[in-house]
Structure 1
Amino acid sequence: MTANPPDVTGYDPDSRDAQPEGSLETLIARIEAEIRELQFPGFSLDDSLNLGLLLVELGKERGLPIAIDITKGEQVLFHVALPGATPDNGHWIRAKKRTAARYEVPSLLVGLRARLSGGRIEDNAWFDQALYAAHGGSFPLYVTGVGAVATVTVSGLPQLQDHDLVVEALRDILRSAGAE
């Protein structure tokens, strides 16, 4: 059960095998481009509901065992677990969204940037793994000219697939909003 077909030539953050040369840098550049691309003109409660429902629809169509969360500060705007999701997904959502909110970039990017320096952020004593997770699946919701105002998080798939599912939904929502 995957969100998207695996990119066999790209960087796999879950693999311990040797990675294709330049693939880490390419993935980081792709995510940085997604940040620039995926900006809302404003973000309302209706936008949150529409995004959450789209992720539910994608998850149900594909039979994905995921949990979905959209949070603004301390306020949960949307949260659901689809069939196959487990209580562990709730832990991962909390940890990934804390990371995305703290650094104001996708949780996957936090982990990848540390790897670019030759290590893992989890190896730093100051990175509390009980609270944070630098794994893919949480993406800040950016408002143009404002910055990050909330987070959308998916948990249940390999981390790159969690990230890609969120990006797919954000693109669809923003494309739909632009068409109205």
Structure 2
Amino acid sequence: MSIEDLIKQTQNEEHTLRFKRFTHNDVFPLGLTLIKEAQKNNVSIAVDITVNGTSMFHYKMPGTTRINSEWIERKKRVVNYHLHSSYFMQLWAARSEVTYNEEHRLDSSFAAFGGSFPITLDGGLIVGMITVSGLTPEEDHELVVNSMRIYLKEREVL
């Protein structure tokens, strides 16, 4: 799949994986969905769900370290700054001849690599983000997106 196709796919994910509402009661079951998907795929991840600037769920599976938490924070900054998934920004930057950080004049505390996805309400308001670290950027993104689909489907939203 070309970068342009992946960008369109990621934009589509951002427009379709939305919540009618997102409350504190969604945080824990959504976090568990991410962990169960990682276990099902026999991978180890760190996961964070941040709502309105506050980390509401943070879990590191065996095999992850503080470095994974640092990557989570760097990816979250990208979502917060651009209001797009970190994978979308990674793909967008891949089209350029300069790095993401050079293009946007941002320091290394920002990391445009897949794994952080906005929590968006139906009206377009972004209330937080779900972030994963531990796999390749593409796999981190895929795990978040698949887990969101499962969670939304279980609640008969999709």
Q: TM-score, normalised by structure 2?
A: 0.93
Greater displacement, 23-32 / 43-52: 43-52
Greater displacement, 120-129 / 32-41: 120-129
Give 1:104-115 correspondences, 5 Å limit. 104-115=83-94
Give 1:138-153 correspondences, 5 Å limit. 138-153=116-131
Residues 70-128 of structure 1 deviation map (CA, whole Å, 9 limit, x = unaligned): 00133111110001112110110000011111111101111211222333212337111
- Computing the radius of gyration from Cα coordinates, the structure with the larger value is 1
Specify the code of the residue in structure 1 equivalent to 2:32.
L
Q: What is the deviation of 1:176?
A: 1.0
Structure 1: 5+ residue stretches without partners? 1-9, 11-22
Give 1:18-167 correspondences, 5 Å limit. 23-124=2-103, 126-129=105-108, 131-167=109-145
2:72/2:116 contact within 8 Å kept:
yes
Structure 2: 5+ residue stretches without partners? none
- Percent identical among aligned pairs is 35
Q: What is the deviation of 1:146?
A: 4.1
SS at match of 2:156: helix
1:170 aligns with 2:148: yes
The number of residues matched between the two structures is: 157
1:108/1:159 contact within 8 Å kept:
yes
2:53/2:128 contact within 8 Å kept:
no
Q: What is the deviation of 1:61?
A: 2.5
Q: TM-score, normalised by structure 1?
A: 0.82
Task: Tell me how far apart the structure 2 counterparts of residues 117 and 87 of structure 1 sit (CA, whole Å).
Answer: 31
Task: Tell me how far apart the structure 1 counterparts of residues 126 and 53 of structure 2 sit (CA, whole Å).
Answer: 14
- Counterpart for residue 13 of structure 1: none
Q: What is the deviation of 1:45?
A: 1.0
Specify the code of the residue in structure 1 equivalent to 2:34.
L
SS at match of 1:94: helix
SS at match of 2:149: helix
